């Protein structure tokens, strides 16, 4: 091992590389975010323009789950390919995540109670209720960055509505979500470029063997 690696600035470089790499365990999504943004735009447009035909409904229901699987696979096998490094979560971030998840859970309970109070048969609304019930769990486990949360919740809501055959129309309250999707795409591209920078720094550090 080269002893010069251990001068204070080299130590700071090692710590900084680990910190940057660890961001991709939680707050940075890279191409997973780009995919999420594109799927959000696709889901919004398909729901509003194509109407609730069988294939469209099936696609709208599948989209959030396909996205989550794809982004987590990308995270594990691409962005954390050298081994997992978990990003520290500050108390403020943790509190924020608890509050947003609790809010989501509360809304899920109110919506589910509303459906049941309306007298709908549980079996008829089973798909809708299952997606609504899954929302807080999915948010807590896989929608850990703010833009991911906003986009993911839209995709889940769209999936739940697709079960009922009434996805969001183009001109509705959901019009804000395409803007969040674009922001997520921009953030994803920016993060991906940062990751390319991290892999270059790791390659320099390890003489090309690590990255």
Residue numbers at the binding site for another protein (CB under 8 A): 1, 3, 5-8, 11-12, 14-22, 25, 82-89, 202, 205-206, 209-210
The nearer residue to another protein, 118 or 209, going by C-beta atoms, is 209
In this structure, what DSSP letter does residue 77 have? I
And the tokens for 164? 């009922």
Closest separation in Å from C-beta 203 to another protein: 11
Give the DSSP letter string of 13-53.
HHHHHHHHHHHTTTT--THHHHHHHHHHHHHHHHHHHT-S-
Q: Scanning the structure block, which residue is given the tokens 């896989």?
A: 142
Closest separation in Å from C-beta 175 to another protein: 38
The nearer residue to another protein, 83 or 119, going by C-beta atoms, is 83
The nearer residue to another protein, 153 or 202, going by C-beta atoms, is 202
Query: Nearest 5°: CA angle at 24, between 19 and 29?
Result: 145
Closest separation in Å from C-beta 190 to another protein: 20
Q: How many CB atoms lie within 10 A of CB 78?
A: 14
The nearer residue to another protein, 186 or 194, going by C-beta atoms, is 194
Closest separation in Å from C-beta 93 to another protein: 12
* Cα separation, 84 vs 72, whole angstroms: 12
């Amino acid at each position: 091992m080269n002893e010069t690696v251990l001068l204070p600035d080299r130590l700071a470089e090692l710590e900084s590389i680990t910190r940057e790499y660890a961001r991709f365990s939680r707050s940075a999504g890279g191409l997973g975010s780009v995919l999420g943004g594109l799927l959000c735009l696709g889901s919004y447009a398909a729901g509003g323009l194509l109407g609730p035909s069988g294939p469209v409904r099936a696609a709208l229901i599948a989209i959030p789950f396909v996205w989550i699987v794809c982004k987590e696979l990308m995270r594990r096998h691409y962005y954390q390919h050298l081994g997992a490094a978990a990003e520290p979560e500050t108390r403020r971030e943790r509190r924020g995540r608890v509050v947003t998840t609790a809010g989501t859970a509360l809304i899920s309970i109110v919506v589910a109670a509303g459906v049941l109070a309306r007298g709908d048969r549980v079996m008829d609304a089973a798909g809708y209720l299952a997606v609504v019930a899954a929302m807080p769990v999915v948010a807590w486990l896989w929608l850990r960055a703010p833009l991911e949360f906003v986009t993911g919740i839209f995709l889940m809501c769209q999936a739940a509505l697709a079960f009922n055959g009434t996805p969001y129309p183009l001109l509705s309250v959901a019009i804000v979500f395409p803007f969040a999707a674009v922001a997520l795409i921009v953030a994803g591209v920016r993060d991906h470029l940062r990751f390319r920078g991290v892999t270059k720094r790791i390659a320099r550090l390890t003489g090309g063997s690590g990255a």
